[in-house]
Structure 1
Amino acid sequence: MTFAQTATETIAEGHGTTTALRKPYITPYAEETVELPLTFERVGGVDWLAYRDALPDEWMFGVLWARCGTARNGTILWPLVHTLRQRRCMLKGLCRVCGESATDPGTGRLWWVMRSAPPVDDPAPWQTVGPPTCREHVTEALTACPHLRRGKPFVCTVGDYTPTGVLANLYGCGDGGRMVETRHQVMLDLDETHLMPRALATQLIVSLRDIRPEIV
């Protein structure tokens, strides 16, 4: 079984990537697609999704993560998202285009581009799977990404953010013990522990706080 990363980057704002961006950091390559030796293992009376040759670092936030190669060469899969690089951008505040820090050196705030602005009357944290975009590459993203052009792009800086969920595919056992995907790209909160045993995470969801509109 192999895994092709989803092209969906839409939770609240509907964010995407296209060929107009020059080899964005989070875009995968065909040569990075790898076999997924998925199975279920009985742990504490519960069947957990696992790899037959699982490594400890393939688990994070209580869920198994999709494997990907890391070569970054070959045929670019423009519409898709590289699971591990997307997660790395989220955890380290890196730019989705260049893979460098998206933190403004003057203010310490992170630059972000979203398809639309969060409601002004909604104080709740704003959830997204789209990683930050450094100030240097904001204009490029706004110009090149059709998902942003179709919306009303919102450029902002963020004072704080927290991992709150994952996009994941859910699996079960079919005839003869065959692994079967039962639900595709489901948004799971990290506290939905009852679903984590069947989940293969593909993207990290974060909640943004202290959002401030910016002009570039």
Structure 2
Amino acid sequence: MTGLAAAGTALREKPYLTPYAEESLDLPLAFEWGDGVPRLTYRDALPQEWMFGALWARCGTVREGKILWNMVHTLRQRRCMLKRLCRVCGRTATDPDTGRVRWILPSALAGDFRSPWPTVHPPTCEAHVGEALASCPYLRREAPVVCTVGDYSPIGVLANLYGEDDSGRVVETHHQIAVGLDESHLLPRVLATQLIVQVSDLQPAPWPRRP
């Protein structure tokens, strides 16, 4: 066994952040007008499907079927970010003694742990740092750094930008772009897929011991 499937065998439990084939849903997108401004919506939208001024991609919540290793479950990624949950197990990534959150960042940070750092990657609890490093090809490829974070805050969304063509159909105009939470001219037209946070007060942490 090779590639992503082999990497997945390192996990002892179902990966929390990763979606499953049966969680894919249709997205009945449309535009509605309010105060003279078009806003992206679903034809059967619910109020809770907006957050931070953006419409969020729908996902199922049944973790069954084929694991889609190269994708991220939108709602679980956002939940991990907001509640400081581990990307592997979905439980808290906060150290109960220090209150700091363990994080794997896919960069060497240029040796600078003093500057804030934006990321779409959720935290990882101490017990699952090794599994995250073994199973996530993106982290392995980007010279990851293990650290703890003292504070962080949402600053944007990774999203697809939509518009309408000449016939009035909803069409994607930009794919997976970073949109700041202060970009009010863009937020009404995006479908958010991941929350971007800015971590600060970084301190290096040891890598897990090899068995």
Instruction: Tell me the distance in 2 between the aligned counterparts of 1:169 and 1:43.
Output: 21
Aligned length: 199
Q: 1:168 aligns with which of 159, 164, 169?
A: 159
Q: 1:157 aligns with which of 137, 148, 152?
A: 148
How much identity, in percent, do the aligned residues show?
A: 65
1:201 aligns with 2:192: yes
Post-superposition shift, 1:146? 2.9
Post-superposition shift, 1:75? 1.6
Match of 1:116 in 2: 107
Instruction: Tell me the distance in 2 between the aligned counterparts of 1:171 and 1:25.
Output: 29
1:29 aligns with 2:11: no
TM-score by length of 2: 0.89
Q: SS of 1:89's equivalent? A: helix
Instruction: Tell me the distance in 1 between the aligned counterparts of 2:191 and 2:158.
Output: 8
1:39 aligns with 2:30: yes
Moved more, 90-99 or 117-126: 117-126
Post-superposition shift, 1:173? 0.9
Structure-to-structure mapping, 1:119-134, within 5 angstroms: 119-121=110-112, 123-134=114-125
1:60 aligns with 2:54: no
Post-superposition shift, 1:152? 2.2
Match of 1:74 in 2: 65
Match of 2:89 in 1: 98
Post-superposition shift, 1:144? 3.0
Instruction: Tell me the distance in 2 between the aligned counterparts of 1:151 and 1:66.
Output: 27
Post-superposition shift, 1:179? 1.2
Q: Counterpart amino acid of 1:125?
A: P
Post-superposition shift, 1:52? 1.1
Match of 1:211 in 2: 202
Question: Conserved in 1, the CA contact under 8 Å of 2:25 and 2:59?
Answer: yes
Match of 2:172 in 1: 181
Q: Counterpart amino acid of 2:79?
A: R
- CA 1:24–1:91 in structure 2 vs 1: closer, same or farther (change >3 Å)? same
Deviation string for 1:103-124 (max 9, x for gaps)? 1122111000122232345844
Moved more, 138-147 or 83-92: 138-147
Post-superposition shift, 1:46? 0.4
Instruction: Tell me the distance in 1 between the aligned counterparts of 2:131 and 2:181.
Output: 33
Match of 1:138 in 2: 129
Instruction: Tell me the distance in 2 between the aligned counterparts of 1:192 and 1:91.
Output: 20
Structure 1: stretches of 5+ with no match in the other structure: 1-17
Instruction: Tell me the distance in 1 between the aligned counterparts of 2:73 and 2:178.
Output: 17
Task: Indicate the RMSD between aligned Cα atoms, in angstroms.
Answer: 1.4
